[in-house]
Structure 1
């Protein structure tokens, strides 16, 4: 019969195994776990030796699970998540919330949406630690060892619950420096952008951020080659290039607003700016740790307060 040390050791090995699958490799898993790649490799080999079966197929370019490894991961990922939630709840009492809140978010919310919310949450719950993983892929938050995720409009798992966080609606805006527009002229239709210098953003998946325009019932998609392409993590630098006159940029209106107000950028194709739903906080319907429940409560309170303020403003306009 295994002793307590064996059980603890096996849980550690399984956690490393799940991290390798989630990150797609030993080096990425080592960075997340703050271990050396050789240590991660040794622990996987130890787990495989204990079970007597291979769990991963290793090549020079990738790591993929065997059929046994895939089956094992499917069964243990929810159990590991429930164990983490139970441990975090055990660290909290009804009066004081303690433990770790770990969320996986898209970089789009890290500029001006999530930081003030996290700041208020940490002020309200000083015993909680917060870890934010920034990833533009839609990940399985349970397999990634996270309590929740934040994404825009992607298809979520059936057992996930989603609540709005931050602004209920946002817009994609286009802008360019006044000097650039004076020299090249302002586009009158989205298709005109095919003849302009354009600054494009690229996701970590290698796909370019789509340029979609809407006016009334009309939707237009354009795909200018982009003389300058910047990864989404460098969006602030891309905006800087636009301010320097390098071309037209399309991104979140709230990111461009300070420069539109200062006059460093001028709006482009304003009638075609597209409105869409804001970000969603999503989480499993099965596992909610005490820190996550407290975070959800704060997010809902802020949404209710925002709706109340908007309703009061509308009433004042009518009066």
Structure 2
């Protein structure tokens, strides 16, 4: 039976995603194209692979039997193609990285331009998220996470600055009007610009000094999404909107320009920098191997 290989990829994508819309999002296709590909695969095979309703798409017995054999076989094919790719003078292909939004500002700008210049045949796709998700759920090859978010059975490679800090700051006009906090507990009397994760959690502000750690639940009239809306938080702080607590390097331009003034600096929380992590497996795709080698060559 001469079945189009692309149709098989569509069948696998829909089966893994559990639906056409989610499969389209993961693969960058569209639901109607995937639905047509599955329909043509079923016509050529002469069996129905999915039961479809207006709400669900589930595998039939024939579909499950096919997936049990097809998914491992296609993984072997992908591995074989990656192995051939490793013999190229310049590796090519697509590398998908799942990263926190902070990494797109604080880590990747110092790495990505030079990496793409060295490997022009690699397409780098960045999936940036404000909340921690399974790094491999969108067919990503690797991810950047901080050490408390590392998963088991992963190789962790340091990437970016090894020590980072959170910094508290406010505009000179705000501090002149409302006073300068001398202790983290004073923040409870101030307007603070807070963040909220996609999970709905509004994190406490954590401070540390001389072995003492404090977690403060602050209040304020502005609440923004962690990651994607933090530039708005900084802009509002500059416009006298309250106190912001964020990565020091994120605030550094405003601090250096005098738009914001640091407060409570002895209490700023330090933490270890992020890691690039990926599956510990024998064969690593050529684009990921090139990125790993490139990161290892970067100065600490």
TM-score by length of 1: 0.79
Q: Aligned partners of 2:260, 2:110: CA distance in 1, in Å?
A: 26
Check the 8 A contact 2:26/2:138 in 1, yes or no: no
Q: Which structure's residues are more often helix, by fraction?
A: 1
Residue-pair matches, total: 294
2:152 partner SS: coil
Change (3 A) 1:152 1:43: farther
Change (3 A) 1:210 1:120: farther
Q: Aligned partners of 1:256, 1:271: CA distance in 2, in Å?
A: 17
Change (3 A) 1:236 1:193: same
Q: Aligned partners of 1:187, 1:77: CA distance in 2, in Å?
A: 59
Unaligned runs of 5+ in 2: none
Unaligned runs of 5+ in 1: 307-319
Q: Tell me the equivalent position of 2:172.
A: 178
Check the 8 A contact 2:7/2:41 in 1, yes or no: no
RMSD over equivalenced CA pairs, Å = 3.3
Alpha-carbon shift at residue 263 of structure 1 (Å): 1.0
**In structure 2, which of residues 203, 209, 212 is the aligned counterpart of residue 218 of structure 1?**
212
Change (3 A) 1:251 1:130: same
Alpha-carbon shift at residue 137 of structure 1 (Å): 3.6
Change (3 A) 1:64 1:260: farther
Does 1:237 find its partner at 2:228? no
Change (3 A) 1:72 1:200: farther
Q: Aligned partners of 2:163, 2:79: CA distance in 1, in Å?
A: 32
2:182 partner SS: coil
**In structure 2, which of residues 273, 282, 294 is the aligned counterpart of residue 298 of structure 1?**
294
Alignment of 1:256-275 (within 5 A): 256-275=251-270
Q: Tell me the equivalent position of 2:242.
A: 247
Q: Aligned partners of 1:191, 1:39: CA distance in 2, in Å?
A: 57
Q: Aligned partners of 2:66, 2:110: CA distance in 1, in Å?
A: 39
Q: Aligned partners of 2:66, 2:242: CA distance in 1, in Å?
A: 50
Alpha-carbon shift at residue 9 of structure 1 (Å): 1.9
Q: Aligned partners of 1:249, 1:222: CA distance in 2, in Å?
A: 13
1:229 partner SS: strand
Deviations 1:141-191 (A, max 9, x none): 344211111112234332211111000110011100010011111112212
Alignment of 1:77-92 (within 5 A): 83-92=77-86
Check the 8 A contact 1:78/1:143 in 2, yes or no: no
Change (3 A) 1:34 1:99: closer
Check the 8 A contact 1:194/1:223 in 2, yes or no: yes
2:160 partner SS: coil
Change (3 A) 1:189 1:10: same
